Structures are given as C-alpha cells and as structure tokens.
Structure 1
Amino acid sequence: MLKRVHFTRLILAVTIAVSSLVIGMAGFVYIEGFNLIDAFYMTVITVSTVGFSELHPLSNAGRLFVSFFILYNLVVVAYLVSVLSSFIFDGELRKIFRMIRTDQEIKHFKGHVIVCGFGRNGRRAYQELRANGAQVVVVEVDKELMQRTTEGTTGEDYSGDGLPGGLIITVCGDATMDLVLHQAGVERASALITALPKDADNVFVALSARALNPRLKIIARASQKTSESKLLSAGADSVVMPDEIGGSHMAKLVVRPEVIRFLDLITNLSSDKLRLEEINYDQLRQEFKSISLREMDVCSTSGATVIGLRQASGALTMSPSVDYVPVPGDVLLLLGNEEQMDRFEVRFRQL
C-alpha cells in the first residue's frame, strides 16, 4: 500500500505513455496495413516529432488519424515530463530511494522494537530505547511530522544518542493495518509499543500484532481507565496511562517530595542520573554463578547496589539476603550511577 501511494503518479504516466504507443501501432496497422515493425517506427517518430518522412504515403484516413494522434500525445508527453520533473527536482525520487533503503534495512532487523505513533509518548519511548542501544522502527501515519523530524526542523534530537533525525527508521502508514505492521517487521520484533492517540486504535494494533507474533511483548497506551481491560484482552502485556501517572506524580511531589525526587533520579527525569539495571543469571560470569551475594561483594567492587531480586518462580524480593545464592532463572536488580554500573558490567557480566 505504501509503495503504491508513492508510485501512483509515475505508474499512471508510464501506463498512459505505453497505451499511446499501443494505440499508435494499432492505428497504423488497421488503417494503413503496416506490419508491426513499420507501425512501431511510425508511432515513435510521430510521438517524438522528429520530422522524419513517412515510410509509405498516408491515406486521408491515415493523415486524419496522425493529426489527432499528435495532438493527443502533446498532452501525454507534457504530463509525463511534469511527473518526471517532480520526481527529479522535487525530491520524490530521493524519497523513493530512501523508502526502498529503509525497507531493506528493516528486513535485516531481528529482535527490534516497533513504536507505533510518534506523538509525545512515542517520541519519549523512542529516545529511551535508542539511548539503551535498541533497534527501533517507528510507525507513523503523519508523513509531514516525520519529514519535519528527519529534516531537523523541529529543533529536537529524537535519536537519544546524538544521531541525526534522518537516521530514524520509519514506516509511514496506518499502524492498525496488518500490511504496515508487516513492513515494520512485526514477525521478527521482540516488542511493540503502541502510543496512538485513540484507545480504540491501540486496541486494534495490540490485537493485530498479537495475531502476527504470539511471542511479541506489547506495551499499550491508554487514556481511559475503561480501556485497560480491553487492551489486556486484545493481547497487550502491559497498559500505561500517562495522564493518570502524571497526576499521581504531581500529587506525590506534595506529600512525598524526596521519594519522588529519588525516583526521578532512577527514571532519568533529573539532571543527576542514576541507572536502574537488571542482569539475568545466564548473563553472569561463570565464576559468580555458584556463590552467594555476600561472596560476590557487588557493592565493594563496583559501588552498585543490589536492591531487588526476581526469582525464577516469579516472586520479587526487595533487598535480598546476602547469603542468597542465585539460581538459573533469577534476575538481579541493581542501582548505581553511570560509573558504578560500568564497573559492574566489566566485572560481573559475561562477555
């Protein structure tokens, strides 16, 4: 669908030009009795108006046909030239090449994240994902919005890592359509965030994405509380309501301001950033897989703090005992600044 939108005018112009060629050949064969090669030659020199003489003298009917055929082709050639000019001089050709290149890049993506909707929530999600090194494909129906973004006219950096806006991998289309999700590589994606303005559209995206990829992790945005159950039933793993979260956040700044400021540090909403990371048992170096948290001594060696543990059973433990020995399926939750987390990565994470 997306390619048809871009190629419609060009295909129409080429179709009309080919049709003109066929009409000319048919006319010379039927009216003058020319063979196909002579008919093709006469059609080409007539359309191109090069002024070559006729192969054979034309009858009155043939001259009348040629007169109207020339007038008709003046319009055809003018339209064809205008379409080609727009493709060359107005950047349409460049857009087509960019679209083809984007499609080829997406075909090589695996385990990427799809962000549907590039509004405020979608942009923030994109920034956060890119800052953490994830491959991201944006699906947005508003072409002008994405064009302003990729051309850098918005004055914002959406890449999250200093990359220019032009490197945003985008599929311009309606995310509620299966074809558009296919173009975004939903079958190979690891997660999808649907942040469209309408809850009904988010429900439809979640339903379609779940059908196309049963293993996909789906995070959905909702404006109404009543939409939460519908989104979960449609296949969303988690539902986020930004308006509700924002109101709760502001209220807690009044009653528990220091707690919220600490949370802002963790969620990178403050200028002094802390990192909240997780590490699976399988990601630990081999020498740390059979010892207790006390023996690992994470805090002394890296400065980071183990603040939580999700056990293989699914239970979540805050401030786990230092005598606990991690087992397969466990996930350690750690908190620290950038320098501390970098030291932890070097010492404890398996290369």
Structure 2
Amino acid sequence: MTSLLLPSGARLEKYTLRGAPRPLPGRRDAPRTRRAYAAAHVVADPLATADPVLDPAVDWDATLSFRHHLWDLGLGVAEAMDTAQRGTGLPHGLVRELIERSCREAVGRGAAVACGAGTDDLPDDRPVTLEQIERSYLRQCRWIEDAGGQVVLMASRALCRTARSADDYLSVYAKVLGSLARPAILHWLGDMFDPRLAGYWGARDLDAAADTVVRLMSEHAGAVDGVKISLLDAGREVALRRRLPAGTTMFTGDDFHYPELIRGDDQGHSHALLGIFDAIAPLAAEALALLDEGDADGFDRVLAPTMPLSRAIFEAPTYHYKTGVVFLAYLRGLQPHFLMLGGHQGARSLGHLARLFRLADQAGLIEDAELAAGRMLAVLATAGIDGRSTA
C-alpha cells in the first residue's frame, strides 16, 4: 500500500491511497442520449524563457494530447473557455492559435469541438463602444467558423461594463448571431466564476436576466443551438430549461449539481459543458454510457463519488478552480508538471491541494498510486515539507 503524510490543518497526517478500484476506460464511443463537452485546460510550457506571468507560453504538444484524451473518451472539447484561463493567464495573442490548432485536430478525427468567442482583445482600462464589442465578437467568431468549430458566445466583461440595459445586450447578440453560418451556444457565467460579470444580461435580478435570455433565444431560435448556464443553482437552471424555445438545448455548467441535472426528470434534462469533466473525464464517460443503456442508478453510482471532489475544486473563490483541474491532470500523469499560465498553480493552498488528492483517490481517479504519491511529495517539497511516511 502506498502511504504519505499530507497536511491536515496545522499538522501532517498519514494517508494511504486506495487506488482506482477498477481500470479506468481509455476509450468510449460518444454518448447517444446526451451531448457532453469537457471544457479543457491548457498546459504551460515549463521551459519557456519569457516572463511566465507577463508573457506565458503554451506547451502545444501536451495541450493537444490532453484534448485527444478527451476525444478518445467520446467527449467533445469546449475550447478556449474560462477553463483554458481566458482572462486569467491565456494571452489574447494565443487564443486564435489555440482555437485553430484544436479545431484542426478535431476536424482531422471527426470529433466535436465548440470554441469560445469573446471580446478579450479589447482594453480593460478604458471605455469601449458597443460597436467595438460587436466587431471583437465577429472577428473571433470568424476565426472559429473558418477553423471548423462551433461558436460559444462567451459572456463579455466589456459588454457587462458598457451596456446600459438589456436592450444593449439584445442588440449586440442579434448582430453577432445574424452573422454566423452555424447556430451558436450562448454562455451565461455567474459572478462566482468571474466577479466582473455581475449583472450580466442587464440586470442583477436573475429572474429578469433569465427573461432576457429566453427573449434572445426566442427571437433568434434558428441561430441559437442552446445555452450553457453556470450559476451553481440547480433550481434556477431547471426553471430556465423548461422555458427554452423548442429545438434549443440546455447545457449545464453547474459543477455542484451536474449528476441530477444531466439525469433530468420527466420534463427534460440538461446536456453538459463542464469544467469538471476535464478532471473526471473517464468517470464521466463511463456514467454517460450507463445512462445510454437506461441505467440511471449506475450513472448515479459512478458520479456520486466525484461530487465531493468537484465541490472542493470549485469552492470559493470559485474562479481559482483551474488550479485544481490542472493539479488532477498532473497527479494522473496526463501532463508532466504542475505549472500554470500566469503562475496560477499558487492560487490554492497546500492544504487545499492535499484535500483534492484525497478526494480524487476516494473518487477512484488514481490508477497509478506510486506516480500520484511521488508527484504529491514533489509539490509538498516545494514548501519544505517532507511527506514521506516511514511507517
């Protein structure tokens, strides 16, 4: 048995890994009854000589290899979203390259990819106009469609600070949606994920904001595939799901309640566009395969152990969840290091990382206990902590 000493409060406690109870799947067919996208992270280049905060670099081989891992499991990739550190480390100059590289790989293997179109090329430190916001969206949408991807219209910080009413949102979105060759997925990200999106859709009252979303989707139903909602409020998501126009789709982005929302009820279900699927991809794929077979109990049984892990990864401040996602990829041997764009590997405490280590093991995600333990020891050693167990 593999054991090590992990932080627990102000002291170290021995922890013995259980290891995955069964081999995790490496390949799966795409699910039939649910559409499922994993919002994928990017892997930093540890050998880049540029400033890692001011001019971070991407390890393209490792980044694309991780996307193939997701596609092998039958999941779609949601590319260049907030999980890829849009607005928190990924330079705007690399966004287009990330989209084009990922789409090229997806098209080559016939895999699903949906990419975030945002307005992150606009300045944060001075006012912009609605016309500038429209042009920014249109430019990024063109990158995506030219590369063969589907557009996800990301929530825009620039629009949130510039718009004066819901009508401004409707005007901008109408112009962008009217330009697209393929229906887009809308993106409603709550302020727990990004405080600068508070009051999105022109209202701090979420019921009023939901009314605007329904109006937009109804007026442009042919140009809207669906909406991804990330408010961490299952009841609100279900209520909105029941109001969606016919032919449109609800994609859950709720990393606290995803099993119940994907399973659904007698009035419908949500599909998935989730950051947590980056971290739990093999178990997500296994659960979705069981759901395809009509085994809802099996679906619940596989995903239930992942819930404590997901809630810990996404705990407040929620916008630091990317640290946990990358940490899990490192522990599982899916990338060679625990470094992040902009130095965000330091955004969570050692105690938090130790808790994720335990919860990932208890969820059945750790196949190579020796590898995971060795990598956890290396993380502890950076803080001068010797986690080796002699017992």
TM over 0.5: no
Give the TM-score range, shorter chain.
Answer: under 0.3
Considering Cα pairs closer than 8 Å and 6+ residues apart, tell me whether 1 or 2 has the greater RCO: 2
TM-score normalized by the length of structure 2: 0.25
Rg larger in structure: 1
